[in-house]
Amino acid sequence: MAGYVSGKVAIVTGGGRGIGRAIALLMAKEGASVVVVDVGAALDGSGSDQGPAQEVVNEIKQAGGKAVASALSITEPQNAEAIVKSAIDTFGRVDILVNNAGILRDRIFHRMSWSDWHDVINVHLNGSFNMARAVAGHFREQESGAMVHMTSTSGLIGNFGQANYMAAKLGIHGLARGIALDMARYNVRSNCISPSAWSRMIGSIPTETDAEKQRVERLKQMTPDKIAPLAVYLCSDKADGISGQIIGVRNNEIFLYSQPRPLRVLHRSDGWTVEKLDAQLKNAFKQSFTPLERSGDVLNWDPV
């Protein structure tokens, strides 16, 4: 039986480790030729190493698949163009983009530096734009293509010490939806996955108390390979008609996320003053205010 993405060519950023690696391996298993992009940096974005991307390529080839590695940084537009060119030069076309690469620089906001902000935005948001823009012309010409971008419950809901990451991940939702709207006429789809998986990104959770240790053991069940099937499905022709959506994966659960829409409306025919707002707004809206919750407060049950 042919795989779900047989004959397609996929680019997977951050493909050397974690979720990206799992997606690259399953893409290849399901018949795609894969460009594995990974600079091999540390979690905070420092350093580089060509090893991780090449190791995944070797693993794909040993299993009989087709793959090529790239260690170029996606933060440079010309590098994104070069990555797409390598896909076309090697495999003849490009059909799938998975924007997965990312770094973390967690800091409480009043201690967050410009570089903490800029570097996280640069890899996640600018990198996702650069890669999407580099494939967009090819997708338009062939009137087909699928993109999957990684958002996060940190962006959709919230977390302490992650204003930079939250802004980047919510920005990625805006980018993904903008692409979905602009490119629907060319049969190009663009969706977000909000993944929950045990990887380097959440491997720094403290494990001092027994309760924390038990929680981490449960979280470790959420392996990166639980994310990969959704990514492959969304990039396959079988997902036709699904675009502009946010779909979450948490162990064996899959969520469809809501997107911002008006909840309540207040109207005055004579217009508003500060005094009238003071008299009405808080009481009218407070039952519908979104609480200052974090991801764990909303997804407050153990992974199943």
Mean pLDDT across the chain, nearest whole number? Answer: 94
Whether residue 203 is predicted with pLDDT greater than 60 in this model: the reply is no
pTM (two decimals): 0.93
Domain ranges of the chain: 9-259
- The 10s digit of each residue's pLDDT in 143-196 is 999 999 999 999 999 999 999 999 999 999 999 999 999 999 999 999 999 998
- The 10s digit of each residue's pLDDT in 22-78 is 999 999 999 999 999 999 888 889 887 889 999 999 999 999 999 999 999 999 999
Q: Could you identify the residue written with the tokens 């005094």?
A: 275
Query: Which CATH fold topology does 9-259 show?
Result: Rossmann fold (3.40.50)
Q: Catalytic residue, from 4, 165, 186, 257: name it.
A: 165
Q: Which residue has the higher pLDDT, 150 or 2?
A: 150
Asked whether 94 and 12 are in contact (CB, 8 A), the reply is: no
State yes or no: is 165 an active-site residue.
yes
Whether residue 198 is predicted with pLDDT greater than 70 in this model: the reply is no
- The 10s digit of each residue's pLDDT in 78-87 is 999 999 999 9
- The 10s digit of each residue's pLDDT in 243-255 is 999 999 999 999 9
